[in-house]
Amino acid sequence: MTALALAGLGWVVRAGWQIRLAAAGEPASGPPDQGGGVHRPLTSLEDSYHLVSTVSGFAELVCALTFLVWMGRIRHNGRELSGTRPRYAGLWVYLGWVVPVVNFWFPRGIIADAYRSSAPGERLPRSLNVWWGLWLVSMLTGVGLTYADSTDEIIARAYTDVWQLLACDAAVVGAAVAGIFLVRAVTAAQERHLN
């Protein structure tokens, strides 16, 4: 849960810097990446956004690794509690996030399967669908674009289309908050049934 909170906080700080960039306006010399391999010197605000982006990216990496470990554990616990084989092979805990097309439903399915195995007859936590819906919104509206773009390109987008970046940031932060509730709900259900 701490890793999710740190990743969400990283996106809040990143959004704050994007607002600062938009408010400052693009320098007269144009965007940082001027095309053709030409880059102008960064302003202090742009330089600090690079730092914020790097620190936020590190928090995201820690969060992703922690979340993958948690998913593996709840999958294993679900198998132990139910005595049945999970619907998804263990490899999909990792590959389910990166294989195109299946990444739109496998991660949610793995968590839902582990919960159902651990707490038969109980409704899935509402936070599961909220988390997954917000994660999909963020993927389809900007996170994919953000990761494809360099930090300088994101800075240029902040000068021209900050609202798109902020909408994506809000979805990611919402997904992080819903993820905290999801981790609590699934972990609590498994602990109840383990005892």
- Per the model's pLDDT, the better-predicted residue between 189 and 193 turns out to be 189
Q: How many CB atoms lie within 10 A of CB 38?
A: 8
Query: Residues in the chain, how many?
Result: 195
| End-to-end Cα, the chain, rounded Å | 22
Q: What's the pLDDT band for 143 if we cut at 50, 70, 90?
A: low
Asked if 145 and 5 touch (Cβ cutoff 8 Å), the reply is no
Query: Is 139 domain-assigned?
Result: yes
Q: Over 90: is that where the pLDDT of 19 sits? A: yes
Query: Is 53 domain-assigned?
Result: yes
Asked if 24 and 38 touch (Cβ cutoff 8 Å), the reply is no
Q: Over 70: is that where the pLDDT of 148 sits? A: no
CA triple 65-135-69, angle to 5 deg: 20
* Residue 88 lies in domain: 2-21+43-194
Query: Is 33 domain-assigned?
Result: no
Q: Over 60: is that where the pLDDT of 144 sits? A: no
Distance CA 7, CA 125 (A): 22
Q: What is the mean pLDDT of the chain?
A: 91
Q: How many domains does the chain have?
A: 1
Query: Is 35 domain-assigned?
Result: no
Query: Is 55 domain-assigned?
Result: yes
Q: Over 60: is that where the pLDDT of 118 sits? A: yes
Radius of gyration of the chain (CA): 20
- Per the model's pLDDT, the better-predicted residue between 148 and 31 turns out to be 31
List the beta bridge partners of residue 39. Answer: 33
